[in-house]
Structure 1
Amino acid sequence: MSTNYSARSFIAATIALLVIFGASATPIPLYEVYHQTKGVSYESLSITAVVYFIGAVTALLFFGRISNHLGRKITTLLAFGLAAAAMLLFLTVESAFPLILGRFLLGLACGLASSSITAYVVDTAHPDKQWLASAIVSNSPLVGLTIGALASGLFVEYGPYQLMLCYLVMLGVIAVSAALILSGHETVDSQKGLIKSLKPRFTLSNPSAYPVAAITFVATWALGGFFQAYGPSIAAEQLHEKSTFIGSIVFASYLFPGAIGGLLSGKLTPHQSQKIGMIIFTLSLAGLVFALQQKNLIEFLIASALAGTAQGAVLTGSIRSMLHNAQIKERAGVLSIVYATCYTGAAIPSYIAGQLSNSLSLLQLLYCYLGLAIFACAFTLFYPSHERTVAPAHMTKSLYNE
C-alpha cells in the first residue's frame, strides 16, 4: 500500500476541491440581479467567464508545478487565500469591475486547485480505489460548482442581505476547510527549483491519449462556460422563470450529473467512456436546443442532466487515459495540461459568444455549441484508437501509482 494513503487527508483534499469550485460559483446566481440592479451588461457577464478561465490557465501555466516544491498543503492554502479575497471583492460590487476582478482571482484559485489539490487527492487515495480518485478529480469541480450555485441561490432567494450573505457564509466555509487541510499530512517533500518550476512545462505521460482527450475537454467545458455566463439569463429570458433559485437549478442541472457519469464510467475503458459519452452528450445537446425552442423548463432540465451525465463519463475517461502510467512527480504536470486545455477550450468559445451576444439570441448561440459537439463527437469516433487502451477502472488496482 502506498505510504501516502491517508483517509483523513484524502477527505480533506476532496473537500478543499469542492470548496474552491463552490466559491467560484457563488456569484453566478446573482448575475441577473447585478444585471437588473447594477447595470452589468450581458457582454460584461460573458467577460467574467472569460477572465475566470484566463486566471485558471495563467495559474496552470506558471504555477501548475509549484506544489512539487512548496508542498500540496501550502499550495492549497494559497488557493484558499485567493478565493477569500474574491469573496471580499464581491461584497463591494456596484459595477462590473469588482465582479470581473473577483472572477479572475477565482480563476487563479481554481487553476491552482486543478493541478495541486487534484494531485493531493490522487496522492492520498487508496491504491485499490484509484478509479474513485479519478472520478473525484474529474467531477469535484462540477459538484463544487453545483453546490456553490444552489446554496448561493437559496441564500439570495430566501435569506437576508441578498447581496452579502452568500459571500459571508463562503468565507466561513473556506476557513473550516483550511483547518482540515492543516490537519492532514504532506505527500511531497519540499525541494529546490521553485523559480524554475514557474517556467511553463507540461507533462504528457501518455501522449497518444491527448488528441481525443483534448477535443472532449473543449466540447464539454465550452458548454459549461455557456451555462456559467448565461444560466440565470436562460431561466429568466428564455424559460420565463424569474426566481434566482430556479436560475441556480438551470446552471446546476448540467454540472451535478457529471459526478454520476464519472462513477458510471468506472466499468468502461477510457476509450469506451469517450465514445459512448460523446454520442450521448451530442444527442442531449440537441435536446437542449429543442427544449429551449419550446421554452419548456422540465424538458430543458432533463436534457441538461443527460448532457451533464455524459460529459462526466467523458471527462473521467479522458483523465484516466491521460494519467495512465504517470509517476507521482508527473501528476501535477499532467493535470495542469488537462485543465489548461479545459479552461482554454471554455474561454475561447465564451469570448466569441460574448461578442456574438449583441446580435444573436441565447438559442442561436446554443446552436453554435451544438455544432462544436457534433465535430468533437465525430473526431472521437473516427480518430485511430491504437495505443489508447487502458483497462476498466474496476480491473485496475493501481492505475496511477508508481
Structure 2
Amino acid sequence: MLTESNRFSFFSAALSLISTYVVSSIAIPLYGLYHTENQVSYLQLSLSSVVYFIGAVSALLLFGRVSNFIGRKTSSLLALLIAALSIVFFLHLDSALPLIIGRLLQGTACGLASTALTSWLVDHAKAVPNWVPSAVISCGPMTGLTIGGIGSGLLVEYAPMPRQFGFYLALGLVILCSGLLFRSQETMVKKSGVLRCLKPNFTLPPSARRAFPVAACTFVATWALGGFFQAFGPAMAHEQLHSDSAVAAALVFASIMAPSSLGAWRAGKMSGEKAQWLGMISFTLAVGGVLVALSVSMLSAFMITSVLAGIAQGMVLTGSISTMVTGLEAEQRPSVFSVIYAVSYVGAALPTLIAGRLSEQLSLLHIAAGYGVLAFIATLVVLLSKIRATSLQSSK
C-alpha cells in the first residue's frame, strides 16, 4: 500500500513539474502574433525570455530550500498557484508589459517547481525504476515545453480564440495537478526557521562540489541553445526557413526539446560520466549540423539535426545531473537542485540577452553560430576533465 502511495505521489509530482513548464511555453508560438498585431519588437520578445529566467533564478536562490521547512506539498502548490496567476496576463495581452510580467511569473513558478517538485520526485524515487527519476528531472521541463509549444501552435492555427484557448486549457491542467498534489504523500515534516532559509545558499555537498565545474559547463551550453530556440524560434521559422505558420514556429521550438527524453532514457543505461562526455560530443556535432541547415535554409535538414541535438541534450543533462545528485540525503537535494537550475537558467538568460541586443545588427544565423562556439568550448572542458581523470586513475 505504501509503495502504491509513493508511486501515485511520484506520478503527481512528475505531472505537476511537466505542467508548470507547459504553462510557460504556451505563449511562445504566439510571439509572431504579438510581434505583428501588438508591435512587440524582437528585443522585447528576447527581454521577455530574460525576465522569465530572472524569475526562475530568483525563486531558486530565495526559495530553493523552503520545501524543507513548509513541506514539499505546500511549496509545489504555491508554484502551481503562481503559474495560474501568470495566465491572467496573457488572456488580455495587448502590449509588451503584460507579456513581460506574465513571463516573470512563469519563470518564478518554474524556479520554485524545479526545487520543490524535483526533490519530491527523488523522495519517492524507490517506487519507480532507477533511471526514471533522473530522466523526469532532466527532461520533464523540456517535455512540458514541447507539449505546450506544439499544442499552442496547433490551437493558434485551428482552434477558436487562438490567443486565449490554450491558456484556458492550461488553467484546467493546473487545477487537475493541484487536486493530485493534495492527495499525495508529504515527505518532509514542517519545522520553524523558514525565514532564515530565504538567504541564498550556494553550499554543495563534497560529491556534488567535485562534479559541479564540469556539469555547470554542460548546463550552460545546452540550456543556452534552448533559450535561443525559445526566444527566436518564430523568427527562425520566418526569416531562415520561410514559414509564417504558428505550427512551424512551434515545431522549430519543439524539435530540440521533444527528443531529450530519448537521450535521457539512453543515459540511464550508462554511467553519469559516460553520458556526460558522449552526450556533449554528440550535442556539439548536431549543433554544427543545425548551423549548416540554417545557412542553406533547408527545413528537413534543420529538423533532423535539431532532433539529434535534442537527443544529445537529454543525454548530457541526465548524465551531468546524475554526477551531482547520486547518494545525496533528502535535506541536501533542494540546495543542489537550486544550484543546478540556477546555473542553467543564468546560462540561458545571459546569451539570450546578448542575442536580443545583437538581433538588430546581426542575422539570426550569425547569432546562432555563437551558440555553436559555446557548445564547442563546453565539449573541450568535458573532454579535458575526462583525460585528466583517466590519467589520475592510471597513475594510481
TM-score range, shorter chain: over 0.9
Structure 1 CA distance, aligned partners of 2:306 and 2:215?
A: 22
| 3-state SS of 1:126 partner | helix
Match of 1:348? 350
Q: Out of 224, 227, 230, which is 1:228 matched to?
A: 230
Give the aligned partner of residue 16 of structure 2. Answer: 16
Partner of residue 325, structure 2: 323
Provide the C-alpha distance between the structure 2 equivalents of 1:4 and 1:172, rounded to a whole number of angstroms.
Answer: 26
Question: Residue 265 of structure 2 corresponds to which residue in structure 1?
Answer: 263
Judge conservation of contact 1:5–1:123 (CA < 8 Å) in 2. Answer: no
Q: Percent identity?
A: 46
Distance 1:4 1:382, change over 3 A: farther
In structure 2, distance between residues paired with 1:369 and 1:128: 36
Q: Distance in 2 between matches of 1:185 and 1:127?
A: 13
What code does the residue aligned with 1:224 have? G
* Residues 312-370 of structure 1, C-alpha deviations (whole Å, 9 max, x = no match): 00000000001022100101111110000100100110111011111011111011000
How many angstroms does 1:129 deviate by? Answer: 2.5
Query: Is residue 136 from structure 1 mapped to residue 136 from structure 2 by the alignment?
Result: yes
Unaligned residue ranges in structure 2 (runs of 5+)? none
Summarize deviations over 1:139-159 as a string: whole Å, max 9, x none: 000000000111111111100
- Residue 84 of structure 2 is matched in structure 1 by 84
Q: CA-to-partner distance for each residue in 1:116-155, whole Å, 9 max, x for gaps? A: 1111111112267332101110000000000011111111
Are the aligned partners of 2:156 and 2:163 in contact in 1 as well (CA < 8 Å)? Answer: yes
> What do residues 165-201 of structure 1 show as CA deviations (whole Å, max 9, x unaligned)?
1111111111111111111110111011100110001
Q: Distance in 1 between matches of 2:163 and 2:11?
A: 31
CA distance in 2, matches of 1:307, 1:23: 24
- Give structure 1 stretches of 5+ with no counterpart: 390-402
The answer to whether the Cα contact below 8 Å between 2:7 and 2:127 also exists between their aligned partners in 1 is: no
Aligned to 1:57: 57
Q: Show the counterpart of 1:393.
A: none
Does the CA contact (< 8 Å) of 1:4 and 1:187 recur in 2? no
Of 324, 331, 340, 1:338 maps to: 340
Secondary structure at the counterpart of residue 358 of structure 1? coil
Aligned to 1:36: 36
Q: Distance in 2 between matches of 1:255 and 1:273?
A: 18
Q: May I ask how many residue pairs the two structures share in their alignment?
A: 388
TM-score by length of 1: 0.94
The residue type equivalent to 2:193 in the other structure is: G
Q: CA deviation at 1:386?
A: 3.8
SS at match of 2:284: helix
SS at match of 2:188: coil
Q: Deviations over 1:275-307 (max 9, x none)?
A: 111111001000000000111111101000000
Instruction: Note if contact 1:5-1:126 (Cα within 8 Å) is conserved in structure 2.
Output: no
User: Structure 1 counterpart of 2:230, which letter?
Assistant: Q
Q: Report matched runs for 1:202-241 at 5 Å.
A: 202-205=202-205, 206=207, 207-241=209-243
For residues 215 and 2 of structure 1, the distance between their equivalents in structure 2, rounded to whole angstroms, comes to 39
Q: Does 1:93 align with 2:93?
A: yes
Partner of 2:279: 277
* Partner Cα separation in structure 2 for residue 29 and residue 201 of structure 1: 36
Q: Which residue of the partner structure matches residue 104 of structure 1? A: 104
Task: Verify the 8 A CA contact 1:232 1:247 in the aligned structure 2.
Answer: yes
Change (3 A) 1:3 1:172: closer
- Residue aligned with 1:240, SS: coil
- The change in CA–CA distance for 1:42 and 1:331 in structure 2 (over 3 A counts) is same
Opposite residue 62 of structure 1, the aligned amino acid is: L
Contact 2:121/2:133 (CA < 8 Å) preserved in 1? yes
TM-score by length of 2: 0.95
**Alignment partners' CA distance in 2, 1:5 and 1:189:** 17
- CA RMSD in angstroms, aligned pairs only: 1.7
**CA–CA distance in structure 1, aligned partners of residues 198 and 295 of structure 2:** 47
Q: Distance in 1 between matches of 2:113 and 2:280?
A: 26
Where does residue 310 of structure 1 map in the other structure? 312
SS of aligned partner of 1:383: helix
Report if aligned partners of 2:51, 2:103 keep a CA contact under 8 Å in 1.
yes
Q: Could you tell me whether the CA contact under 8 Å between 1:82 and 1:108 is conserved in 2?
A: yes
Give 1:5 deviation, angstroms: 6.8
Cα distance in 2, alignment partners of residues 332 and 2 from structure 1: 24
Q: Distance in 2 between matches of 1:125 and 1:215?
A: 27
Q: Partners in 2 of 1:232 and 1:166 — Cα distance?
A: 18
Distance 2:77 2:364 in 1: 38
2:301 — aligned with what? 299
Say if 2:6 and 2:127, in contact at 8 Å, map to a contact too.
no
In structure 2, the residue matched to 1:399 is none
In the TM superposition, residue 202 of structure 1 has moved relative to its aligned partner by: 3.0
Matched AA of 2:7 = A
Q: CA deviation at 1:270?
A: 1.2
How far off is 1:84 after superposition? 0.7
Deviation at 1:267, TM superposition (A): 1.7
Q: Does the CA contact (< 8 Å) of 1:5 and 1:124 recur in 2?
A: no
Higher helix share: 2
Between 1:82-91 and 1:214-223, the stretch displaced more is 82-91
Confirm or deny: 8 A CA contact 2:5 2:184 kept in the other structure: no
Deviation at 1:40, TM superposition (A): 0.3
Farther off after superposition, 2-11 or 227-236: 2-11
1: CA distance between counterparts of 2:343 and 2:287?
21
Alpha-carbon offset, residue 203 of structure 1: 4.0
The equivalent residue for 2:289 is: 287
C-alpha distance in 2 between matches for 1:45 and 1:309: 27
Task: Give the letter for the 1:311 counterpart.
Answer: Q
